[in-house]
Structure 1
Amino acid sequence: MNYFLVKSEPFKYSWEQFNKDGQTFWDGVRNYQARNNLKAMKKGDLVLFYHSNEGKEVVGIAKVVKEYYQDPTTDDPKWVVVDLAPVETLKKPVTLEMIKQDPLLQNIALVRQGRLSVMPLQREEFDRIVELGNS
């Protein structure tokens, strides 16, 4: 299994809306590195949902329910989406500040490449963030 983190600005698409929808395709990715991360996602992989700009916090866990396919919001074949479904809301959000202060999370892409919207995580990083959010 692989682990990832995706970002969404809550005013555009929030964790609450994602839970109401029950499933969505993850569109709008227009960065090659982020696109390659979408292409690396496999059905069943777990994904942390991060509210960017407002909140700056991990709020929940999703899973990949359909692997990458052409982004239906564009005719450009370079861009892809995956389908995600919510799994669990964290008991408390894990803020960017908490992540930056945690010695186990110093090399996480969220800290090193703050503008990247889709990023891989090591299992230990994923587990640590979930632990912080459920403690």
Structure 2
Amino acid sequence: MSTDRTINVRFFNMWGADIQSVILKFSTSKSGVESDTYKIDSLKNGESAGPFVRHYQTGIGSEEFDYWYVEFVSTGTPSGKFWCKNNFSCVLDSDVDNSREAHFWIGGTKKEAYTGFPEDGGGWEDGYNGTPSENPGSNYTCYVSLDGPA
């Protein structure tokens, strides 16, 4: 049987420039119909916003994927409108410590979006060290290349 859960997500701008017209969507279905959607007017480079509540399920019968989406406009370098490719999936499983914040951020060096999840026991999943950066190397849980500029 599936279990409904929530986790707070903090969004970080590590783009290397200020951004505006930010849209965040968190969904457990490919259609995105059942999603948590948030808008941020502007966010300076190096700053964060949130926390934003994200719904997800774990256990037998739960959705197999958790989808993450970001769209924003950068007037710095790199400039233009950027967005997540469709169906960027990174699974929140039962090992995630949902009493702590998950991290979702953008990095301008490689034009990518990243997630970092807290795990039970006080650490972080998949080698993430808990600190978002513009060019994280392998310091994240999941990542996706962004489309743009448009």
TM-score range relative to shorter protein: under 0.3
Q: Which has the higher helix share?
A: 1
What's the TM-score once normalised by structure 2's chain length? 0.25
Q: Which has the higher strand share?
A: 2
What's the TM-score once normalised by structure 1's chain length? 0.27
